């Protein structure tokens, strides 16, 4: 019952927190704040964390397929072990989100980070976006 109530509240509040109509392009500095918020939600900004049973690495908790996409978009040949390098990981996450999230709000981009290229359409990513939204405050609007 608690989950149902939380999801209902999240959906009811979504137009206010998602910055409907406010895209990354409308708030270009917001992407850096989004990346900071994602690292805090994922790992408390700890680059040595391994999550999802060892399948996710670094402060952003990046999986191999995500890393492969992001490095391809950047045009670099970085080994997955470098996901613990916060500078490189941040570049990979930014490239991934900008590739899969054109025209998306910052919170939709957070959902893409959490749920893959179509994560912004998955109900399962709403709670994650709410966690990111608490860190972003009004930046996403």
79-106, pLDDT tens digit by residue? 999 999 999 999 999 999 999 999 999 9
**This prediction's pTM:** 0.81
The domain 2-140 is placed in CATH, from the list 1.10.530.10, 2.60.40.420, 2.40.110.10, 3.40.1190.20, at 1.10.530.10
DSSP collapsed to 3 states, 49-80: CEEHHHCEECCCCECHHHHHHHHHHHCCCCCH
Residue 29: the pLDDT is: 77
Distance, in Å, from the CA atom of 125 to the CA atom of 114, rounded to the nearest integer, reads 6
Residue 136: the pLDDT is: 87
Q: Mean pLDDT of successive 10-residue segments in the chain (141 residues)?
A: 48 44 60 97 96 95 98 98 97 98 96 98 97 78 46
Distance, in Å, from the CA atom of 106 to the CA atom of 34, rounded to the nearest integer, reads 7
Residue 45: the pLDDT is: 96
Distance, in Å, from the CA atom of 35 to the CA atom of 97, rounded to the nearest integer, reads 10
* 8 A C-beta contact, residue 80 and residue 64: yes
């Amino acid at each position: 019952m608690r989950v149902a109530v939380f999801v209902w509240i999240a959906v009811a509040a979504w137009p206010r927190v998602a910055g409907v109509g406010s895209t990354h392009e409308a708030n270009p500095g917001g992407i850096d704040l989004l990346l900071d918020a994602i690292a805090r939600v994922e790992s408390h900004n700890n680059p040595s964390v391994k999550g999802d049973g060892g399948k996710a690495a670094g402060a952003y908790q990046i999986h191999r397929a995500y890393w492969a996409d992001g490095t391809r978009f950047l045009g670099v040949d970085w080994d997955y072990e470098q996901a613990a390098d916060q500078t490189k990981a941040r570049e990979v996450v930014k490239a991934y989100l900008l590739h899969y999230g054109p025209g998306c709000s910052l919170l939709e981009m957070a959902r893409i980070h959490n749920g893959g290229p179509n994560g912004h359409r998955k109900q399962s990513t709403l709670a994650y976006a709410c966690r990111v939204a608490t860190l972003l405050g009004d930046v996403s609007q």
